[in-house]
Amino acid sequence: MSNAIVRTDFNFPGQKSVYHGKVRDVYNINDEYLVMIVSDRISAFDVVLPEGIPYKGQVLNQIASKFLDATSDILPNWKIATPDPMVTIGRKCEPFKVEMVIRGYLTGHAWREYKAGKRLLCGNILPDGMVENQKFEKPIITPTTKADVGHDEDISKEEILKTGLVSKEDYEQLEKYTHAIFERGTKIAAEMGLILVDTKYEFGKKDGEIYLIDEIHTPDSSRYFYAKGYEERLAKGEPQKQLSKEFVRQWLIENNFQGKEGQTVPTMNEDFVKSISDRYIELYENITGDTFIKADINDVMNRIEKNVSEYIKSL
């Protein structure tokens, strides 16, 4: 467990600042490039859990890298290179202040809202009589604000335009890109025997052009169902077989933790940590169709520092 990367504190050439997120550490290089190190931290219920998960960072970084490449014909993205299994280096863009969430199925947050009687979600009118995990006639976009602290909040297109968070021209382009990337992700998932259920995309601008930024189609930012047996489970009202980190949330709930005040994170023993690591590797292989090759993590901090520093010099 000691080889899991839970915090980085590098000083790269040209480094201006560093931002430590829930999972990613992002280094600003000369206000021109970003070095994104995907750590082995794991979060659930907006809480970073106390133990790191070996290879989780490599899994997420390599999935995102593959899907950035697989969608680069739709629009440009921030990625320039992945000089290390846990690192992506890319262009620094000015992020839009909204995240574009797109849903193909009524599940998760959308289902909870629907079950509570709501039929309007971020400006989308939902028909009566739907059941959990049912496919929408067409995918719906349910944007959220990007909160610096606390939870992101649902917001509609009308509210975004009214408050000036994004211009009308840019927002309509973001919608087009969101639908196109989701369609591509859906097609790739189907080839793997999976259903891309819902996901979120982040976009930014550089030199007046819109870029896709951050991660895409990873099990941390997306929900996948197994296609086999989907219809049967839906007809019986049974839970769908998921490919996401939902199993971690379930374990926490079973151990009386949902991130609420006064609750204590349960102890994560070595066997449980290894089981999460194994599940993430399984996710990688199912989503990408590639065999996961474990990087050498005996001296992982020096490996990252060397690989990143050498690449920055070539920029």
**pLDDT, tens digit, 9 for 90 and up, residues 192-201:** 999 999 999 9
Pairing state of beta strands 87-91 and 33-38?
antiparallel
Phi, then psi, of 84 in degrees rounded to 5 = -145, 150
CATH number of the domain encompassing residue 171: 3.30.470.20
| Sign (positive or negative) of CA dihedral 188, 233, 242, 44 | positive
Tell whether 284 is covered by a domain: yes
**Residue 52 shares a structural domain with residue 99:** no
**Residue 99 shares a structural domain with residue 210:** yes
Q: What is the pLDDT of residue 148?
A: 65
Q: Mean pLDDT, the chain, as a whole number?
A: 95
Nearest of 308, 295, 315 to residue 27 by alpha carbon? 308
Q: What is the pLDDT of residue 305?
A: 97
Tell whether 8 is covered by a domain: no
**Residue 154 shares a structural domain with residue 39:** no
- At which of 197, 224, 243 does a domain end? 243
**Residue 50 shares a structural domain with residue 109:** no
Arithmetic mean of pLDDT, 164-181: 98
Q: What is the pLDDT of residue 245?
A: 82
Tell me: the pLDDT tens digits for 59-101?
Answer: 999 999 999 999 999 999 999 999 999 999 999 999 999 999 9
CA distance 74 to 120: 30
Tell whether 301 is covered by a domain: yes
**Residue 134 shares a structural domain with residue 162:** yes
User: What total number of domains does the chain contain?
Assistant: 2
**Residue 162 shares a structural domain with residue 194:** yes
Q: What is the pLDDT of residue 244?
A: 81
> What's the Rg (C-alpha) of the chain?
20
Q: What is the pLDDT of residue 14?
A: 96
Which CA distances in Å does 41 have to 86, 224, 236, 273? Answer: 12, 21, 37, 11
- At which of 221, 243, 265 does a domain end? 243
CA distance 224 to 218: 9
Tell whether 87 is covered by a domain: yes
**Residue 48 shares a structural domain with residue 166:** no
**Residue 141 shares a structural domain with residue 233:** yes
Tell whether 169 is covered by a domain: yes
Tell me: the pLDDT tens digits for 232-271?
Answer: 999 999 999 998 887 898 899 999 999 889 999 999 999 9
Output the pTM of the full model.
0.93
Nearest of 216, 245, 282 to residue 78 by alpha carbon? 216
- At which of 212, 243, 274 does a domain end? 243
- Residues spanned by the domain of 149: 95-243
CA distance 152 to 255: 26
CATH number of the domain encompassing residue 75: 3.30.200.20
**Residue 218 shares a structural domain with residue 266:** no
**Residue 115 shares a structural domain with residue 223:** yes
pLDDT at 287 over 90: yes
Tell me: the pLDDT tens digits for 100-149?
Answer: 999 999 999 999 999 999 999 999 999 999 999 999 999 999 999 986 66
Arithmetic mean of pLDDT, 9-18: 96
